[in-house]
Structure 1
Amino acid sequence: MVTHRRNDESQRLVRDSFDSTSSDFELDDFLADDYKDRTHRKRISLSSFLPWRTSPPHSPRPGRWRRLLGRTFTAFAAFLLILIIATPFFNPSYSRRPPHYTGSNPNNEKVFIAANIVDVDLIKGPWGKAVIELVDLLGSENVFLSIYENDSGEATTLALQELGRSVKCKTAIISDHIDLDSFPSVQILPNNHLVKRIQYLAQVRNMAIEPLNSANTDMGPFDKLLFINDVVFSPADAADLLFATNIGKDGRTQYHAACAMDFINPFKFYDTFATRDSEGYGAGVPFYPWFSKAGSGISRSDVQAGKDAVRVKSCWGGMTAFEAKWFARNNSSSETNSVGMTPIQFRASEELFWDASECCLVHADLSAMASLHPQGWRDGNEFDGGFYINPYVRVAYDERTFGWLNFIRRFEKLFSWPQGWINWLASRPAFQPRRDLEPGVESDHREWIYDGPTDVEEEEKLRKREYSDLDIRLNGHWETVKRIAKPGGFCGNRQLLVLKKHRKAGERMWERIGPPPGANDA
């Protein structure tokens, strides 16, 4: 009995000892787990206050980068939105006009207005109304209006006659017929005598300014010549272009020519064909700031500085103001006659596969003439020839576009950086082989020489089929020719613009023919 009890007690002690040890192990595990849990919670709690979260180097977190990119994109979008909203209010482009822009003729200067227009809707609509208002602004006694059109039909003739009865100033409104066979022709194929488009345009512009000299006898010499294209414009803007652009201390303008800017849509500047910057480079991508950084980038810098007289070598922009004296016959002198430019007239290049805008060439000729008669207001800057674009003055080719111009210009400065990059990507401006040629200096010109027959027996066959580049190459060649450079080498480029002999209804009246290979312009 004693032995049995002792065994039971021994088993109880062993069991108690075992149970006690087991409980101690469970308690230790519990305490260890609790300690780890509290430490982990503390780590999480602390990490929430740190700018970064620590993680083992072997455990990548791709979600972190996605969140970072998302936050960066959100911040950039917010910045861009703020910039877009703030720009038109705090940094608008050409929206706050100088105080001397009054839309008037403060010194009662005499203005000769010239135009070539055929669009009946414009004549009876916004263009005609603006011209009538402009005459009133300038003073009817100070204005002579000359309009020349040809071969545009009876509706155009009647609309112009009605306009002539509505304006209060003196007028010369002419509807005429032009015989294209009377123009000098060029030839690139047998039986294919073509009239250069620029030759035609130069002629009709010269017809519009022809009355300037005869009108002088009735009104005295004119101070300004204003050429207006078939555009929608503000009469007050036209007055400011004439009498507020680049004024001097005496309150009078200081320019040989000042151009508006014409837009084909609310963003896109149109007349890049006639526009050259202050160093003779072509325009950049045609939205603000319109010019490139080529050379010294002076014209681009003038635009970004908000100047009302952006220095250029040539321009047109749908509406251009000139000093009238350069176009008058009574300005003749032995010096100017020696270079054959008095009075100044619009002209075209005579070369094959070399064309330039007549509106650019007239600026080049005026510049050459003005250099013989230095003006007192010139500051001697080689890149300031007295020719300017005024970005405050804008015109358009339809009323809808014109209505948007004042709104869009408030956002323009946002376009500057993208425009610069696109210029670079698009290699703007294009190469100009004669940009640096000085007038009067002998130079080597690469010219296309036609050496094919004038006529062939299969004349009708040639007329009916389309000519190809191969046809042109078989009837001519490139040749290096010594020439005395005329003004305006910076205006031209390699192309041939000709009037179509036969065109369908709705087609434009001219076409462009590219040059044959081999010009090898350096």
Structure 2
Amino acid sequence: MIPPIVSFAALFCYVYARVNAYLPIQDVWPYAFPQAWRLWIAFLIVLPIFAMVQLLWLLASAWVSRRFGGRGKSKGREQEGYMMLNGGERTTEDGEWNQEHGARSHPARSRLPGVATLLWYAECILCAYVALYGYYHYKHHEYEGDTRYRPTLYKALADPHRRPSGYGRGEKIFIAAAFHQNEAVIPYWTRTMLDTIVYLGSDNVFVSIVENYSSDRSPDLLREFASELDRRGVRNRVLVQDETVKKPEDVQWNPRIEFLAAIRNQALEPLLHTGGYDKVLFSNDIYIEPESVIELLETRAGDFDFACGLDFGHFGAYDMWVLRDRVGRLTAGIWPYFFDTADYEAMKAEEPVPVFTCWNGIVVFQADPLLPVHLRSNRTLSTSPLAALPPPNHPWTKKVAESPALTPPLAFRASAEGECYSSESFLLPYDFRRIMGLGKVYANPRVISGYVWVYYVWHKWVLRQRHVKWFVEQVWDGAWMQYARMIVGDAKQVWTWDGVDCHPWW
């Protein structure tokens, strides 16, 4: 029994070290990658490998025993037995000599296998089952809930006569993105978007991209993408090496946010000039699957004002600077992320989670709040007054009209004096809620994205593998998640503004 235990322990230590090296653990925020999770993942990797090794050892040992052990036993019997002479009666190991019939009679032997043989068969069956079970789940590692729209997508991609009107609900979608130094992610992102556009329909999409100040291959990759969009008949505006928005000398604090807000607003310019689109899909420089983009668009069957996914990085949930739960509280970097009971229950059910604000790598939102009044569809914004006006120091308080339908268009912006110091991607969903009265804001837990391939793989496929997911959600179940809150500054100095938790910074 000792050799198998030793070999299992040695293999486990090796695999556990490789898991830590893959992340790599020294570069991540430890609270977001609990050791218990990593130990369980290493165990799940080792178990089927060890079972296969044990099975091969059992079969090889049995073959060697039969092949060589039988010969030795036969030879030994010849040496220990007696040579029969004519007549007479002599007893040997193998039975008695029957003088009358001239034949050897063997004693009766049981046809039932011994206990050792039964144990050998049982061990072989168990090892084979564990090895095959592990191989099956290795080949089918994706969580089935994350691929609900893949069959529909593949059907669209396989259609030899692709429909310009698409295969979805027929909504007009304005796709926007901004890139800088992203040569690693752009090829993956563009493939995802091309597949998504097939599903949406080339007639239903406009693609607007801004790239600036890059010194890598990002401009060339985006030029190739623009050419492919032209070939497919997809309307687009792809600006590369564009320096219309001047980069500030000091890219920190509000000057940085103002710079990023201006770039995002630049990406929206074609929409603001013509209108004609129902929703905006705005993406960061992320890895994401096309079926995940469709999942996001189909959040609550399209019944939302603002919907986002979950993005991940080296400290777990990435965009915690933006994400707030349903009641405006800060969130954690590990599952279930939210401390509010209603949000926790939604996460357990893998249903869209009601949140106060979010961005998380990729969002879809109603286009009307950003459009000039005369270009709006009049299907989204209320014609009644706001239930409650924003605080007096909100920069839009004086611009609020008698109803959201008549309020001037929103835009990405930086924080005003007295507000939470926040990013432009926090302030847009916040303004949706407080200026336009649009409160149907949801985070879709089935939509996973990441900025670095290693962490994308970890959160998209490793942590959502069936048995890992069970451990994280049913066994660990948010243990010590309070320590995984990413707070910028002193946690004791968190303050509240207009019902929203604010990072204290320094």
Matches within 5 A, 1:507-518: 514=506
Instruction: Give the Cα–Cα distance (whole angstroms) in 2 for the partners of residues 119 and 365 of structure 1.
Output: 30
Tell me the equivalent position of 1:108.
Answer: 170
1:281 paired to 2:329: yes
Match of 1:121, SS?
A: coil
Matches within 5 A, 1:451-466: none
**1:114-154 alpha-carbon deviations (Å, 9 max, x no partner):** 00012352465212222222222211111100011222248
Tell me the equivalent position of 1:171.
Answer: 236
Q: CA deviation at 1:402?
A: 3.5
Instruction: Give the Cα–Cα distance (whole angstroms) in 2 for the partners of residues 213 and 367 of structure 1.
Output: 21
Instruction: Give the Cα–Cα distance (whole angstroms) in 2 for the partners of residues 324 and 427 of structure 1.
Output: 32
Of the three residues 425, 429, 444, the one matched with 1:390 is 444
Say whether the 8 Å CA contact 1:260–1:317 is kept in structure 2: yes
Say whether the 8 Å CA contact 1:93–1:412 is kept in structure 2: no
Q: CA deviation at 1:100?
A: 7.0
1:207 paired to 2:266: yes
Tell me the equivalent position of 2:367.
Answer: 324
Query: Number of aligned pairs?
Result: 329
AA aligned opposite 2:313: I
* Shift in alpha-carbon separation, 1:93–1:155, aligned structure 2, 3 A: closer
Instruction: Give the Cα–Cα distance (whole angstroms) in 1 for the partners of residues 479 and 290 of structure 2.
Output: 36
* Shift in alpha-carbon separation, 1:238–1:297, aligned structure 2, 3 A: same
**1:382-415 alpha-carbon deviations (Å, 9 max, x no partner):** xxx3111111111122344444423421323423
Instruction: Give the Cα–Cα distance (whole angstroms) in 1 for the partners of residues 278 and 422 of structure 2.
Output: 28
Consecutive unaligned residues in structure 2, runs of 5 or more: 1-38, 48-129, 154-165, 387-397, 402-406
AA aligned opposite 1:422: W
Say whether the 8 Å CA contact 1:288–1:413 is kept in structure 2: no
Q: CA deviation at 1:215?
A: 3.9
* Shift in alpha-carbon separation, 1:392–1:127, aligned structure 2, 3 A: same
**1:242-288 alpha-carbon deviations (Å, 9 max, x no partner):** 1x2112xxxxx1101111111226x922111111000111112x121
Q: Percent identity at matched positions?
A: 27
Of the three residues 171, 175, 181, the one matched with 1:119 is 181
* Shift in alpha-carbon separation, 1:155–1:139, aligned structure 2, 3 A: same
Of the three residues 256, 262, 273, the one matched with 2:311 is 262
* Shift in alpha-carbon separation, 1:105–1:359, aligned structure 2, 3 A: farther
> Which of the pair is proportionally richer in helix?
2
TM-score, scaled relative to structure 1: 0.55
Instruction: Give the Cα–Cα distance (whole angstroms) in 1 for the partners of residues 147 and 190 of structure 2.
Output: 28
Match of 2:478, SS?
A: helix
Tell me the equivalent position of 2:504.
Answer: 494
Tell me the equivalent position of 1:473.
Answer: none
Of the three residues 328, 334, 347, the one matched with 1:303 is 347
Of the three residues 184, 206, 213, the one matched with 1:151 is 213
Instruction: Give the Cα–Cα distance (whole angstroms) in 2 for the partners of residues 258 and 347 of structure 1.
Output: 19
Matches within 5 A, 1:50-449: 95-96=144-145, 102-103=152-153, 105-122=167-184, 125-153=187-215, 155-167=217-229, 168=232, 169-175=234-240, 176-177=242-243, 178-180=245-247, 196-216=255-275, 221-242=276-297, 244-247=298-301, 253-264=302-313, 268-284=316-332, 286-292=333-339, 296-307=340-351, 309-329=352-372, 330-331=375-376, 338-339=399-400, 342-351=408-417, 354-371=420-437, 385-404=439-458, 405-409=460-464, 410=466, 411-416=468-473, 418=476, 420-424=478-482, 430=491, 434-435=495-496, 437=498
Matches within 5 A, 1:460-475: none
Q: CA deviation at 1:111?
A: 0.5
* Shift in alpha-carbon separation, 1:291–1:148, aligned structure 2, 3 A: same
Say whether the 8 Å CA contact 2:148–2:291 is kept in structure 1: no
Say whether the 8 Å CA contact 2:176–2:267 is kept in structure 1: yes
Tell me the equivalent position of 1:501.
Answer: none
Q: CA deviation at 1:227?
A: 0.7
* Shift in alpha-carbon separation, 1:124–1:271, aligned structure 2, 3 A: closer
Q: CA deviation at 1:365?
A: 0.5
**1:218-262 alpha-carbon deviations (Å, 9 max, x no partner):** xxx2111001111111112112211x2112xxxxx1101111111
Match of 1:96, SS?
A: helix
Larger Rg: 1
Instruction: Give the Cα–Cα distance (whole angstroms) in 1 for the partners of residues 420 and 497 of structure 2.
Output: 16
* Shift in alpha-carbon separation, 1:395–1:213, aligned structure 2, 3 A: same
Q: CA deviation at 1:197?
A: 2.0
Q: CA deviation at 1:370?
A: 3.9
Instruction: Give the Cα–Cα distance (whole angstroms) in 1 for the partners of residues 484 and 361 of structure 2.
Output: 26
Match of 1:435, SS?
A: strand
**1:179-221 alpha-carbon deviations (Å, 9 max, x no partner):** 34699x99xxxxxxx85322222111111112112243xxxx2
Matches within 5 A, 1:24-43: none
Match of 1:152, SS?
A: coil
Match of 1:113, SS?
A: strand
* Shift in alpha-carbon separation, 1:124–1:99, aligned structure 2, 3 A: closer
- RMSD of the TM alignment (CA)? 3.9
Tell me the equivalent position of 2:61.
Answer: none
AA aligned opposite 1:412: K
Instruction: Give the Cα–Cα distance (whole angstroms) in 2 for the partners of residues 166 and 137 of structure 1.
Output: 16
